Amino acid sequence: MNARTSARTSAQGLDVLYTAERDVTGWQQRHARGEVPGRWPYGLDELAAGGADVRAVGLPEPGRLRSAVARLAPGVAALASPAGRRVAVAWDENVAHRAAVLAPRTPLHAGAIWVTDAVARGRDDDATRARVRALRRADGVWCLSSAQLEPLERLLPGVPVSLLRFGVDAGFFRAAPPVERPLVVSAGGDRDRDATTLFAALEEVLRARPETEVVVQSRSTATAPVGVRVVPHLPHAQLRDLYARASAVVVATSPNLHVSGMTVALEAMATARPVVVTATPGVEDYVVDGVTGHLARSGDPASVAERLVALLDDPDAAAAAGRRGRERVEADLNTARMARDLRAIVGVGSGPAAAAVPAAPAR
């Protein structure tokens, strides 16, 4: 039995790692007030549902001076606790990097999100190399897009790589009835969002259907067309309410491997809203073209606009697509199923359900 297999089969619990800045305790308080989905970010508190002993740990940023004293930080001290054989779970490569620096001997399973695109685009800076090193020391790595599997297998020789399909909180994002007033919504602003294509498409939509209201949550500096209301930030609860008023939700991205915009697409589907998403590799893991929404050509405003107008012109078909999207979230693309799959990937948890313990303090 090799070291990776041994770490998997002998684990007694999970330490779910977050950056200290994420402030899981504060997130739990906001969740209790109904402000955010999931008791922990990404719904990872549901890892405890399989009987696993699960706790959240916040890791500080390892700087040159802080690395020498990092083990004094509460989060790192929690990782060093001798309370049985434990495995750490890092949602992405940035958290995995902190774990590699601060607790290098802790068995680790990690997600990979942005590193595949960074490598594909030829980035060879210190940050990218550090994250690749962190993933190479992991006992296992998962990704959220099938398009990342082959690149990660090449990048991480000897490290088991798994597909973990993402899920959202189907209780927080509830199905809403169809609306009468036409409203198109877009949200999100990560590095792969294509605001230029989005705004050009929305300009075409407004030209064809000027009665349509359009709201975009984005921090992009691109100039929005007349008639598009841009909001820099919306809290989760307000964004959920905006989805509920929408006729359709649109996500435009540049080509990428990690399915930028999947969260918005699934939140909209959970709200029973049809989606229009640009067709990048891996997106069909989440959106079924012509069933739960429509896929448009990347970088093609006319393609995006055509699909939005089709939904606006056929409310019955749009409502049916929204219902099918909600059904898919309820059946599969939710945090409970994601947590089950992640427990299987990590090899922890069986038997009766157990409650997640409070987050370890982090500074």
Tens of pLDDT, residue by residue over 130-158, are 999 999 999 999 999 999 999 999 999 99
For the sheet containing 213-217, what is the strand order? Answer: 228-231, 213-217, 183-187, 248-251, 275-278, 293-296
Q: What's the confidence (pLDDT) of residue 358?
A: 45
Q: What's the confidence (pLDDT) of residue 7?
A: 43
Q: What's the confidence (pLDDT) of residue 79?
A: 65
The H or E element spanning position 57 is strand 53-59
Residue 189 CA to residue 254 CA, distance in Å, equals: 12
Q: What's the confidence (pLDDT) of residue 352?
A: 38
Q: How deeply is 201 buried, as exposed, middle or buried, from its count of CB atoms within 10 A (0-12, 13-18, 19+)?
A: buried
Q: What's the confidence (pLDDT) of residue 52?
A: 77
Question: Tens digit of pLDDT for each residue in 211-226?
Answer: 999 999 999 999 999 9
pTM for the model stands at 0.90
Question: Tens digit of pLDDT for each residue in 4-52?
Answer: 544 444 456 899 999 999 999 999 999 999 999 999 999 999 999 877 7
Q: What's the confidence (pLDDT) of residue 284?
A: 97
Domains in the chain (CATH in brackets) are 3-167+334-346 (3.40.50), 183-331 (3.40.50.2000)
Tell me what the mean pLDDT of segment 104-123 comes to.
96
The answer to whether the CB of 242 falls within 8 A of the CB of 234 is yes
Buried b (16+ CB within 10 A) or exposed e, 283-296: bbbbbbeeebbbbb
Tell me what the mean pLDDT of segment 287-302 comes to.
97
pLDDT band with cut points at 50, 70 and 90 for residue 354: very low
Q: What's the confidence (pLDDT) of residue 298?
A: 96
Q: Cβ of 164: how many Cβ atoms within 10 Å?
A: 17
pLDDT band with cut points at 50, 70 and 90 for residue 189: confident
Using the predicted structure, report yes or no on whether residue 188 has a pLDDT greater than 90: yes
Question: Tens digit of pLDDT for each residue in 303-351?
Answer: 999 999 999 999 999 999 999 999 999 999 999 999 999 999 998 765 4
Residues 6+ apart with CB under 8 A from 278: 194, 197, 251, 252, 253, 295, 296, 297, 298, 299, 304
Mean pLDDT estimate for the chain? 90
